[in-house]
Structures are given as structure tokens and as C-alpha cells.
A and B are shown apart, each in its own frame.
Chain A
Amino acid sequence: MPGTLRHRLHEAFVRWALRVRPPEPAPIILTQRRVYVLPTRAGLAYAAALGVILLGAMNYNLSLGHALVFLLAGLGIVAILHTFRNIALVSIRPGRCEPVFAGSSAQFDLVLENQRPDARTSLRLFLDDQAPIEVDIGPHTSTTAALHVPATKRGWLPLSRLTIETTWPLGLVRAWSYAVPDMNCLIYPAPAAKAPPLPWHGESAGGSTRDGNGADDFSGLRKHQEADSPHHVAWKAVARQHDGPLLTKLFSGASAQQLWLEWNDLPAALDTEQRLSILARWMIDAEAAGFAWGLRMPALRLAPDNGPTQLGAGLRALALHGSQ
């Protein structure tokens, strides 16, 4: 089939064109040898128009017609050089890439650097069959381009092959290059929409007994009552739910109850992905409620704690489950 043959030829060209086995170490510099130039459709139309003008000039022996054609031909050549220059020697470095949940879109930040004293205009970056984004880079500066990729599966999402192209200034020629920056985005499992309630265990750590409403350790939430101190309102938790009731944080002493999120507690009927997604939901809920929580997985144990670091570590463990 011609379609697939064309595709395979294109892939073979790209592999040859990349010159480095992908993914490439940073910074990727688009050297002259890996920038390609071909006319655009407008460029072909331009060439055809020049051909017709030349024929007319010859037929009518118009010296100025010849001059016009030759000037425009020179302009075409100059356009090639300008377009080439616009993209050549741009350097690309991976930038930030924040982890996201599966089902949303991952954002890869690429830092494009221009070492020249002139601006580079209208560079377009795109991944296979995705809408291009357009950036300019000022003289001697760098610009960040954010590429969005749909995150469908948990785990590491590598940035696929990137095409960077430009048709500036005249739109008659297209100069382009390929790059595969060494960049991966961590994709957390999507939190389950419907999850069982947080798994409270009756056990208490360290064997101490529950001693009522202390003020040392946070232990849970209940509905806000008029008498509760406004300092103890769980604003964070309130903010996460729409129109929910005000909640008051409950605190207990050092021997407060701890929340353990256990892989093995989940019903045996669930498959791995469902388990991970429920665990992710629990972590988020526990974090929102401000509990200290721990995680027990078949090959991993996370001591109880609370805060963004704990959440990040937990979600990362879920994301990479089974991949090591």
C-alpha cells in the first residue's frame, strides 16, 4: 500500500536524519547538517509563476521582464537562506514536566535557546499529528514552549519525536528538523471516581489509647459546630468540595489513630489498575482531610506522613507499580 510505504520511507528518513540514536542528550543543537529545506506549496506556486513570467519576457523580448524574473529568483534563493538561518543552531533543552493524572494532558516544557543577536521568528513545534505551537525567540534569549500530550496510561510517558519547522520570512520554503529530547513525564493512575470509604482500622499504633480531643495531632474531621474554634476549620478540605458543610479538624494526642492504605485490603476481585486507582483516590482524600497516612504495597512500604512530599511519593509508587 502506498500510504504505508510512504510512511515507512518517511520513518527511515527521520531515523537517518536524527543522526543520534534517540532519545538525544541535551542540549540538542539543530546544526546545519540536520536542518532540511524544501519549498512549500506557496514556493512551488512562486516558482511556477516565475517560469511563466520568464516565458513572457522571452516571447516579447522584454529586458526588464528578464530582470524581474531574475530579481524574484534571487529573492527565492535569499528566502531559502533566511528560512534556514531562522532555525539553524537553535538549541533545545528539556524543561519542567510536572506529573499529572492519567486521563488529563501532560505538559512538556522545552527550553529553546537562541545564541544569535537576532530574533528567531515563528518557529513551529509539533508532535506527530498534533496542532503546532508557535514561538519566537528573542536575541540572545531562550523561550519555553509547552507541548501538551494526552496522558492515557500511568507510568513514564516519554516525549515522542518532535518536529520543529519554520517558513518565515516569505513562506516560500520550509526548513525543519527533528528532535527527540530525553524527557519523560510521570503519569499517576487516574483516581477512581467511586472508591470505598477511607479504610479506618481499629488498631492504634504503639498501643496507646485514644484520649479524646487533644490539640497535638490531627485525627479527623467532623461537621462544624457553632462552638468550634474557627482556627480548626479545615479550609483546605472545604475548598475541595463544592457547597459542602464546614468541617472541623479533630486533633488527638501523640498516639492518634493512623490511616494505613493497604494494597491487600482491597477486594480480591479487583485488578491491578483498579486497585491503584482506588489507592490514588484514598491518598488524595486522606491528604485533603489532613490525615497522616501510610501505604503498604506488595513491594513497598511508605511510613505514615502528610503533605505534598508524602502524596508525591505515594502517587509515584502507584504510577510505577510493576514497572521495576
Chain B
Amino acid sequence: MARSNRPVSRRQAWWLLATALAAFLPLTPQLPLWLSLAAGAAFSWRAALTWWQWRLPPRWLLVLLVVAGTAGVLMQYRTILGRTPGIALLVVFLGLKLLELRTARDAVATALLCYFLVLGQFLFTQTIPTALLAAMTVLITTATLLAASDDRPSPRQQIRRAGLMLGQALPFMLLLFLLFPRVQGPLWGIPQDRFSAVSGVSDTMAPGSIAQLSQSDAIAFRVQFKGEVPPQSQLYWRGPVMPAFDGRSWRVAQTRGAYSEIPYPGIGQPVDYEVTLEPHGKFWLFSLELPASLPPESGLTSDYQPVARQAVRNRMRYAQRAWPEAIAGANETPGILRDALALPKGGNPRTRAISEGWRAQHGNDGAAILAAAEDLFNRQLLIYTLNPPLLGADMVDEFLFDTKRGFCEHFAAAFVFALRAAGVPARVVAGYQGGEVNPVDGFLVVRQYDAHAWTEVWIAGRGWMRVDPTAISAPSRINSNLAAAVPSGEPLPFLARGDLAWLKELRNRLDAVTNGWNQWVLGYNPQRQRDLLASLGMTEPDWRSMTAVLSVLCGAVMLGLTGWILRNRMRVDPALAAWRRFTARLARHGVAWRPWEGPQAFAERAAVQIPAQAQTIREIAELYARLRYGPTPQLPDLAQLKMKIAAFKP
């Protein structure tokens, strides 16, 4: 095509530079510094080329630079595959493409590259600001495409036209977004770098590991309750259960997916809720105690912990039901009970001595030993703090009798140790406790600083019981929140502080918007799509019926747009329209109007052929001629013409 060989004009070169900058700048935080500098140099070079109208660099130099850029990326990442290296490579190409803008074809290629880089931004973040920034980039890139085919309009006009066209594209976007059959990725595997920096409860618990989480106000998950939100002290979000102890840290058991359905009977009033879990890269799902239903694609471990089949790498939403009063493990298997009693051989002699005393006093009465342990924790006046002192080899002894300052993991670890030493099966449970209801949208938000550890104690005849040793010493941690529990003056995550009400309010609002965005935009997955279609009456939506509905709706939008775009196609003069009706009627009676005939000549001919109507025919022709060719057409004449023609029956 002749057009694509047209050289790129100065104005088009400026447009291309602008769109390249818009696509590149948001990516700079992800790129190595040398690459950003190199790209900046290429852009400046382009600007100079355009400004002073220099000659383009020779091809051999560009080839050399491509090789150098690729080698640089390769050296930086040791690969050119994957997310970040791929984007770095695209940035290299973009910078060099700008230096060889010759024809309109190069301009189109550059614009397409910029659309690509917008996708690159989404690989790193998908927040609302990112979306707005991306929308800006798309707008500028579209204006650049417009300028590539016609560079005469002013920037303002180009942007306006691009905005108009994108606006018209919006209905298609919405329809496709909602109805295009979604495929759950990944299609070919995700590079490992995707989840390198997510924090959350891990599968081991050592002193200080949860205290570290307490410094983060990142969101762990959000919960929407079907009914009323249970009281704060009931909100134990059960995560990994850790029965294995090596003297210092606690671990989850290796058994996975032991039960495919709930092994205990439901008791009492159920609680229904829906969790939107942020990706944490691990398998477990958080649930209120005790889970009464399993999310799809998940199972229940032997210690009643729901785990997903695949690590949670994307924000995940699941509905669940809990039985707060359910009794689990009344007939627990001996293997699990043996695990819940295992202790390392030596260490912590003082605690062991006390435990043996309980054992001697109460024998096999687990409930009595538990009461004794709770009493001990009460008497020791332990202090809940985010900055516990470092502990030596006999951690439990040192914590209980010397430092007396600790965080929840110290409490839980010491409590389980004491019970096990007294012969009562017990284990550590990690997860989150509490959360905060956002008054704006009613979602309970659980943040990383709500991370908590507590214990489960097995009592014969009763099964597993939740006991929170932290609550014994610092009940305010459980009944209100972290800020209330720690001594004043300790550093707290910003949002955990209670004294900045207005900031909290603002944050709540922002968070509600973000939550809506997560729920409806980012979290729109195949499941959500099925739910939406089901609510619209499509009970079994498969891709065929979805494609059909999608086609029909897109066709409808397209028709509407076509109508709008082709509106005012040919305004037929109403007088002419009436005249056409008249001539058509006469044509049926053998007097066809010839295109070159004037109205009056035609009327004369018709009058001769249909003498009975001669008078009317002449009047109509006269009126029509006056309307069409007269100096100032009169509206009453038109009305009369229409009336006469309507009444005309040859």
C-alpha cells in the first residue's frame, strides 16, 4: 500500500516519542538503572533527531546496539525469558525502534510495542492508579496511531478523537470482559519471580517470626459475612496447624488432604462468610473454626486445616461455612495424639518439673492439668510485647520464669510445651486473630499484623479445644486489638494505631474502593463469571452458549454504533418522499415517472392517461413544484401536499 511507505513526519516523530515515554516511564521502577539510562539516552537522541532534523543513525550501528542491549539484558538476568527480562528486552527494542523511524510502518510497529508495554505494567501491579496510568498510555498511543495516518490535526484534536473512539470501544470492552469465556491460567507456567516478596504466615514458627509480621499492615484477606459479624474474640482464622516441635521451632505435619469431606458432625448455629484471600504462595486457606464446608479444589488435612490443591498464587475467593461449636477429634487416631505429645529429649527442666507435678497431682485428667496450666500462666504475670528479649537454648524456661515478656508465639510455644510435658496432647495453631470491619463496605479486613498463634489441647471425651494462652495474660489483644495489648510507646504499624481517626477513615474509604476493584475487576475469574451468568439465568454456561450470547450482544452494540455513526445518512426531503409515494401509486396504474421528467410535464402526461383525476394530479404537481423549486417553501404547502397525496386514489 502506498500509505505505509510514506516517511514519518516531524509531527509524527514527536507523537511516537511521547507515546514511547508514556509506555516506558511507569516501568522504570522494575528496570535496572543502566537500562533506564540507556532508554533515556535513546529517547533524547530521538528528540534531537527530530528537533534538528539530523540524519537517522546508520543501520549497522542500530544492529550493534540491538546486540549490545540484548547482551546487557542477558547479563543482568541470565535469561531473556520470563517477565522482567522480557519487558527489559521490549524496552531495548522500543528505544532502538525510535531511532529508525522511516516509514509509517515503523510508526505502527512502535505504537503496537507501546500497547504491549502497557500489559507489562500489569505484570507488576494492577492497582487503580496503575489502571489510570495505563488508560492514559493507551489514549496517547491511540492518538499516535491516528497521527500516523493523518498528522495534520492538532494534538488536542488527536487526543479528542482518540478519546471518542476509545469511548465507543468501551461497551465492547465491558461485554467482552464480562462474557468472554475465561480460561484459568497459567497456560505455560509462571516464572518463579512472581511471588518472591509476599509475606504471610509461614509453615514454621520460630520465636519472632510472627512478631515480624506484626510490623506489616498489608492485607492478608477480607471477609464478608452473610449475617452479623461474630464478636472479636470469636474471630480465630485458623491457618497452618503445627504439631511438630524440634526444640526451637514448630512445623506443620507432612500429611496433606487426609479428608475429602468434613469428618465431624455439625453442631449449633453455622456462620456463613466469603473470604477473598490475597496470594501468599502457600497451600493453606484460612477459615473460622471449625470449617463446615470445603472450597472447591481443596481438601482437609488430618488436623482439620483446609488446603488448596495448588498454591494460592492469585487472589482467591471462596465461600465457607463454619460451626463454631463443632467438636472435632473426639475419637482421634493414636498416631496424631502421639505426634501431639512428642517433645525433644532434654531442655527446659523447670517447666518439665512443674508439668510432672501436675501429672502427679491430676493423673490422666486432662481438663484438670489444663486448668493448672492456665493458672500458671495467670500467676506468672507475663507481658505481651512486640519486642521480646532474645532467648537462649531453654526458651520456655527463660520466657516463663526469667524474662516474662513475649509475643503470641512465645505464649503458645510455652503453653504447648508445658502440657505435652504433663502428658496432655497439644499443638500450636498459626493464623490470624480478629480483623477490622471497614464501615464503608462492611468487609472485615484482616491484615498481617493480626497474625497470631494459639494452641489446641486434646481432652479425652471432648476432643480438640482451642486455648489461647495470650488471652490469659493479655485479654485485650483478643477482645480489642494489637494496639490495646502492647504497652504504650512500642512501635506499631501505622494502621494499627488508634489515635489517627481521620486517617483511619480515609484509609477505610480507599480500602473499600480497592476492595471493590479487587472483587469485581481483578478477581473476575472463571468462577465469578459462572456465578454472574447463573444470576442472569444461564444455569449451565459453557463456552458455546457464552460465545453465542457474547456475539449477539456485541452485534447489538455494533448495530447501535453503526446507526449512530451512519446517522443523518441521507435526509430525504419530506416533499420528495411524498412525491415518490405519489409517483409509485401512479406507476401501478401504468403511468411511470421518467427520471428526466419535470413534475408538471409528468402531471400533464398523467392527466391525459387518467382524465378522471386530472385536476388532482395537476394540483399535486403544482404544490410539489412550488415546494421543491419555489423561492421559499411553506410548511402549510407541505402539509397540504401530504394530505392530497394520502387521499389520492387513481
In Å, the complex CA distance between A55 and B568 comes to: 41
8 Å CB contact of A74 from B119, B145, B176? B176
Confirm or deny: B569 has a beta carbon within 8 angstroms of a beta carbon on chain A.
yes
Looking at the complex, which of B68-76, B282-290, B520-528, B637-645 is the stretch in contact with chain A?
Answer: B520-528
Q: How far is the CB of B308 from chain A (nearest CB, A)?
A: 15
Confirm or deny: B108 has a beta carbon within 8 angstroms of a beta carbon on chain A.
yes
8 Å CB contact of B149 from A32, A63, A74, A169? A169
Do B149 and A59 touch across chains, with their CB atoms under 8 A apart? no
Confirm or deny: A158 has a beta carbon within 8 angstroms of a beta carbon on chain B.
no
Q: How far is the CB of B223 from chain A (nearest CB, A)?
A: 21
Q: How far is the CB of A301 from chain B (nearest CB, A)?
A: 35
Residues in chain A near residue B118, CB distance under 8 A: 68
Residues in chain A near residue B506, CB distance under 8 A: none
Residues in chain A near residue B188, CB distance under 8 A: 59
8 Å CB contact of A53 from B119, B142, B145, B562? B119
Within 8 A of A (CB), among B518-573: 521-525, 554, 558, 561-562, 565-566, 568-570
Do A170 and B177 touch across chains, with their CB atoms under 8 A apart? no
8 Å CB contact of B177 from A66, A88, A174? A66
8 Å CB contact of A64 from B105, B165, B166, B521? B521
What secondary structure prevails in chain A residues at the interface with B? helix
Do B185 and A61 touch across chains, with their CB atoms under 8 A apart? yes
Residues in chain A near residue B554, CB distance under 8 A: 77
Confirm or deny: A200 has a beta carbon within 8 angstroms of a beta carbon on chain B.
no
Chain B interfacial residues counted at CB < 8 A: 63
Residues in chain A near residue B1, CB distance under 8 A: 40-41, 167, 174
- Known contacts A67-B521, A70-B177; A88 and B566 CB within 8 A of each other: yes
Looking at the complex, which of A42-50, A207-215, A219-227 is the stretch in contact with chain B?
Answer: A42-50
Do A66 and B180 touch across chains, with their CB atoms under 8 A apart? yes
In Å, the complex CA distance between A81 and B559 comes to: 10
Confirm or deny: A115 has a beta carbon within 8 angstroms of a beta carbon on chain B.
yes
Confirm or deny: B172 has a beta carbon within 8 angstroms of a beta carbon on chain A.
yes
Do B173 and A71 touch across chains, with their CB atoms under 8 A apart? yes
Confirm or deny: A89 has a beta carbon within 8 angstroms of a beta carbon on chain B.
yes
Residues in chain B near residue A71, CB distance under 8 A: 138, 166, 169-170, 172-173
Do B168 and A78 touch across chains, with their CB atoms under 8 A apart? yes
Do A74 and B173 touch across chains, with their CB atoms under 8 A apart? yes
Do B145 and A62 touch across chains, with their CB atoms under 8 A apart? no
Residues in chain B near residue A65, CB distance under 8 A: 119, 122
Confirm or deny: A168 has a beta carbon within 8 angstroms of a beta carbon on chain B.
yes
In Å, the complex CA distance between A58 and B182 comes to: 8
In Å, the complex CA distance between A131 and B112 comes to: 28
- For A117, the closest partner residue in chain B by CB is B568
What secondary structure prevails in chain B residues at the interface with A? helix
Within 8 A of B (CB), among A175-224: none
Do B165 and A82 touch across chains, with their CB atoms under 8 A apart? yes
8 Å CB contact of B314 from A61, A75, A88, A116? A61
Residues in chain A near residue B185, CB distance under 8 A: 58-61
- For B561, the closest partner residue in chain A by CB is A81
Confirm or deny: B364 has a beta carbon within 8 angstroms of a beta carbon on chain A.
no
Do B150 and A89 touch across chains, with their CB atoms under 8 A apart? no
Confirm or deny: B109 has a beta carbon within 8 angstroms of a beta carbon on chain A.
yes
Residues in chain B near residue A261, CB distance under 8 A: none
8 Å CB contact of B565 from A63, A64, A82, A132? A82
In Å, the complex CA distance between A132 and B570 comes to: 28
- For A116, the closest partner residue in chain B by CB is B568
Do B186 and A60 touch across chains, with their CB atoms under 8 A apart? yes
Residues in chain A near residue B570, CB distance under 8 A: 89, 115
In Å, the complex CA distance between A61 and B316 comes to: 12
Confirm or deny: B264 has a beta carbon within 8 angstroms of a beta carbon on chain A.
no
- For B526, the closest partner residue in chain A by CB is A61
Residues in chain A near residue B138, CB distance under 8 A: 68, 71-72
In Å, the complex CA distance between A32 and B565 comes to: 13
Do B2 and A75 touch across chains, with their CB atoms under 8 A apart? no
8 Å CB contact of A60 from B2, B112, B190? B190
Do B134 and A68 touch across chains, with their CB atoms under 8 A apart? yes
Q: Which one of B104, B112, B314, B525 has the greatest number of beta carbons of chain A within 10 Å?
A: B112
Do A122 and B149 touch across chains, with their CB atoms under 8 A apart? yes
Q: How far is the CB of A62 from chain B (nearest CB, A)?
A: 5
8 Å CB contact of B176 from A63, A70, A79, A122? A70
Residues in chain A near residue B180, CB distance under 8 A: 66, 70
Confirm or deny: A124 has a beta carbon within 8 angstroms of a beta carbon on chain B.
yes
Do A171 and B171 touch across chains, with their CB atoms under 8 A apart? no
Do A58 and B150 touch across chains, with their CB atoms under 8 A apart? no
In Å, the complex CA distance between A64 and B521 comes to: 8
Looking at the complex, which of B43-51, B123-131, B205-213, B406-414 is the stretch in contact with chain A?
Answer: B123-131
Residues in chain B near residue A121, CB distance under 8 A: 150
Q: How far is the CB of B482 from chain A (nearest CB, A)?
A: 33
In Å, the complex CA distance between A55 and B108 comes to: 21
In Å, the complex CA distance between A121 and B570 comes to: 19
- The 8 A CB mask of B572-593 against A (1 = contact, 0 = none) is 0000000000000000000000
Residues in chain A near residue B119, CB distance under 8 A: 53, 56-57, 62, 65, 68
Cβ-closest 7 pairs across A and B: A74-B169, A74-B172, A70-B176, A171-B149, A70-B173, A75-B169, A71-B173
28 A-B residue pairs with CB within 8 Å = A32-B566, A41-B4, A42-B4, A59-B185, A59-B186, A61-B186, A61-B525, A63-B522, A64-B126, A64-B130, A64-B131, A64-B522, A65-B119, A66-B180, A70-B176, A71-B173, A72-B138, A73-B172, A75-B142, A78-B168, A78-B561, A81-B561, A131-B2, A132-B2, A168-B149, A169-B146, A170-B142, A170-B146
Which residues of A come within 8 Å of B, CB atoms? 32, 40-42, 45-46, 49, 52-53, 55-75, 77-79, 81-82, 85, 88-89, 115-117, 121-122, 124, 131-132, 167-172, 174
Q: A41-B105, A71-B166, A81-B562 are in contact. List 7 more A-B contacts (CB 8 A).
A: A59-B190, A64-B521, A70-B172, A71-B138, A72-B169, A74-B168, A174-B1
